[in-house]
Structure 1
Amino acid sequence: MSTPRVYVIHENPEWFPPLAAAFEAEGVPVQEVLLTEGQIDLAAEPEPGVYWSRMSASSHTRGHEHSKEYTRALLGWLERAGRQVVGGSHVLELEVSKVAQHGLLQRAGFDVPRTTAVFGTATLQQAARAFTGGQDVPFITKHNQGGKGLGVRRFDSLAEFDVHVASPEFEEPVDGITLLQEYLTAREPFITRAEFVGGEFVYAVRVDTSAGSFELCPADACEVPQVIAGAVCDVPGTDGSAGATDTFTVRTEVTADHPLVQQLRTFLAEQRITIAGVEFMETVDGRTVVYDINTNTNYNPAVEATAPASGPRSIARYLGGLLDAEYAATAAAHR
């Protein structure tokens, strides 16, 4: 068997360079496991090491529609063999289902958007009428297996929605589940993403939404269209032009002592999620709504340059610590 190392399971090589640099800086041996093709010898023992899954819910948008199933198979094999897996099977199921996220957040006592999950398309228009009480009030749609803002659209009338559902522009969700969700108005034009590594708070990112888009992504590799998964905010007075401020900045007033951060920390520990970014927004009517859990979080270079700690290097240190703890004698001999 090879020297124990951290294995990073994913399907998008464009996201890996910042992580590779962080592992190198921390002196932690790392190897990619790219799940776009390959095989598993089910009679073999997995290589020694710590395995970190950062499979993305949006993998199918990059032509990797089967990577989710590949990951399910691989994680099951690793877990049955007793390997330490960060972001294991239970986390993957949360990553690829906003219904699951919504249910867990709601049960834990967080304020979540009012949401209906619709299976298939035959009853979508009927479900929208039930959701709005038959009134022309704003609501949004999104895909249950999301990421990249998939299927996120605002509708101001039921007639507008009917036309869209019947049009070629309608995006069929990869798992067949469309969410109908209340449309919220932000108190100020931003949403917040709280980053956690090793179960501990790293920093909060303020994501400017003054351009009026659902599509915002922190990763340097993301190009237009940009996305933050599942943002549900309206911005009063928005004219659609880009603001002068940076889109992604550290929100310094949100610290580890913030009550919501403490509540999220407890929630993630209970769910055995150690690496995640959780998004929330503060509304004009005084709500703090938690709406998305990203278990394959990416980090913005501008934020990293000014943040009190580095997200990727925090991950490298955390996973390196797990590796040392599990393979202390072997690691000491090779590092």
Structure 2
Amino acid sequence: MSAAAASAATPVVHAVHENPEWFGVFAEALEAEGVPYRELVLTGGVLDLDDPPPPGVVWSRFSASSHTRGHGLSKEHTRAVLAWAEGAGRRVVNGRAVLELEVSKVLQLSALRAAGIDVPRTRVVVGTEHLLAAAQDFPTPFVTKHNQGGKGLGVQRFDHVDELAAVLAAGDFEEPVDGVTLLQEYVQPRDGSITRVEIVGGEHLYSVRADTLRGGFQLCPADACAVDPTTGRPVLPPGATLAPEPGVSLFSLREELDPGIVEKYLAFTRAHGIEIAGIELIESADGRVLTYDVNTNTNYNPQVEAAAPRSGPREVARYLGRLLEEERARG
């Protein structure tokens, strides 16, 4: 709990998450804006539904990759806490319905399609034993990815179905945590990049260009590429075709983006109650604009933050502060 958070009876921002390593910049921003908060690190425990939720604003930063950090119970723990808070009428940012989108690319892609937003061609495979059969008549090249993902989990490119058959036969296929794999067309980017559109409180904050040539399929701004402990050089991520260079960021501020797609994203987030998000798109070599991921626990890259007109964490803190003041005014 921050020094500004006086007592359990004082309304504060309750930050729900499972990864303290990603929370530091938000703690600094909340402190700088004078917004009282407490962290609720949910990795398993006890919740008494007879107890009233503490007053204030509940902000969910649950990550779909939580299970990769040994936090396999965090999803259910977060579901329970958000249901408890919403049931008691607390103000929840990125609540239960948003959590379900965060942990399911199937739900994301279906919702995007329903909103008239183009997505890559995708086939959903429930049970890895069905994957090879599903891929037999799927256009190549294709990629596989986990339905509950984050950090590029399970993303592999295959130029021929026989390559997938070999990986499966060798037992080298990474099993998805929920048993659901996406078989998706490989989209060749027009200029070796993807774009991430950052949204806070119903406003477009800024857009980020991410280098896929050096970043491949692992483009989380918080931990984009691993470092080899022996050489000290970045490890070549899966899907990358050029080696990352030490000190050279994969991310840069994108100054211009079609306002039409931004407006579609703003409408989409409003329709689904998503208040803080980073939505990723790829402009393909064949002229399409395809949206493929909705991140509702968005992280911010320090190099982009240094060049951006507004700070992501500070805008999040200001937004949460305004909501907290509204809750206080309601009594």
Provide the TM-score with structure 2 as the length reference: 0.91
1:241 aligns to 2:243 (yes or no)? yes
Identity %: 56
Q: 1: CA distance between counterparts of 2:268 and 2:53?
A: 31
Q: Pick from 98, 114, 128: which aligns with 2:105?
A: 98
Does structure 2 retain, via aligned residues, the 8 Å contact 1:119–1:176? yes
Aligned CA distance change for structure 1 residues 27 and 329 (closer, same or farther; 3 Å): farther
| Partner deviation per Cα, 1:264-311 (whole Å, 9 max, x = no partner) | 111111111110000001111110111000000000111111100010
Does the C-alpha gap of structure 1 residues 96 and 297 become closer, same or farther in structure 2, counting only changes over 3 Å? same
Alpha-carbon deviations, 1:228-258, whole Å to 9, x = none?
xxxxx988xx5x233696311110113xx71
2-structure distance, mates of 1:97, 1:19: 25
3-state SS, counterpart of residue 312 of structure 1: helix
Instruction: Describe the SS at the equivalent of 1:211.
Output: helix
Task: Give the whole-Å Cα distance in 2 for the aligned partners of 1:11 and 1:222.
Answer: 19
Give the 3-state SS of the residue equivalent to 1:113 in structure 2. coil
Partner of 2:256: 253
2:309 aligned residue: 308
Q: After TM superposition, list the pairs within 5 Å mapping 1:145-156 onto structure 2.
A: 145-156=148-159
Counterpart for residue 163 of structure 1: 166
Structure 1 equivalent of residue 196 of structure 2: 193
The 1:63/1:261 distance shift into structure 2, 3 A limit, reads same
Alpha-carbon distance in 1 for matches of 2:186, 2:11: 48
Query: Is residue 2:45 matched to residue 1:43?
Result: no
Deviations 1:10-45 (A, max 9, x none): 000101110000001111001100001332121111
Find the counterpart in structure 2 of residue 14 from structure 1: 21
Q: What residue is the counterpart of 1:275 in the other structure?
A: 276
- Counterpart of 1:57 in structure 2 is 64
Q: Does structure 1 conserve the Cα–Cα contact (< 8 Å) formed by 2:113 and 2:119?
A: yes
Is this contact kept in 2: 1:102–1:291, CA < 8 A?
Answer: yes
Answer whether contact 1:183 1:234 (CA < 8 A) is retained: no
| Within-5 A mapping of 1:262-301 | 262-301=263-302
Aligned position for 2:3: none
**Equivalent residue, structure 1, for 2:136:** 129
In the TM superposition, residue 213 of structure 1 has moved relative to its aligned partner by: 1.6
The answer for the alignment partner of 2:226 in structure 1 is: 224
Structure 1 partner of 2:175: 172
Counterpart of 1:175, as a letter, is: D
User: Normalised by the size of structure 1, how large is the TM-score?
Assistant: 0.90
The question of 1:117 aligning with 2:124 is answered: yes
4+ long deviations beyond 4 Å: none
1:64-75 mapped onto 2 (5 Å cutoff): 64-75=71-82
Offset of residue 210 of structure 1 = 2.0
Task: Report the CA distance shift for 1:169/1:51 in structure 2 as closer, same or farther (over 3 A).
Answer: same
Q: Compute the displacement of 1:117 (Å).
A: 0.5
Does residue 89 of structure 1 match 2:96?
Answer: yes
Segments of 5+ residues of structure 2 without an aligned counterpart are: 1-7, 228-237
Check conservation: 1:35, 1:71, Cα contact below 8 A.
Answer: yes
Q: What is the letter of the counterpart of residue 21 of structure 1?
A: E
- 1:165 Cα deviation (Å)? 1.4
Q: Distance in 1 between matches of 2:224 and 2:218?
A: 11
- For 2:67, the aligned partner's letter is H
Matched residue type, 1:262: E
Question: Which amino acid counterpart does residue 194 of structure 1 have in structure 2?
Answer: V
Higher mean alpha-carbon deviation, 25-34 vs 208-217, is at 208-217
1:188-211 CA-to-partner distances (Å, cap 9, x unmatched) read 011100000001100001111222
Task: Please identify, of 98-107 and 166-175, the stretch whose mean Cα deviation from structure 2 is larger.
Answer: 166-175
In the alignment, is the contact (CA less than 8 A) between 1:194 and 1:203 conserved in 2? Answer: yes
Q: In structure 1, how many angstroms separate the alpha carbons of the residues matched to 2:263 and 2:60?
A: 25
Report the RMSD for the aligned CA atoms in angstroms.
1.9
Q: Secondary structure at the match of 2:44?
A: coil
Aligned to 1:184: 187
One of 144, 158, 162 as aligned partner of 2:147: 144
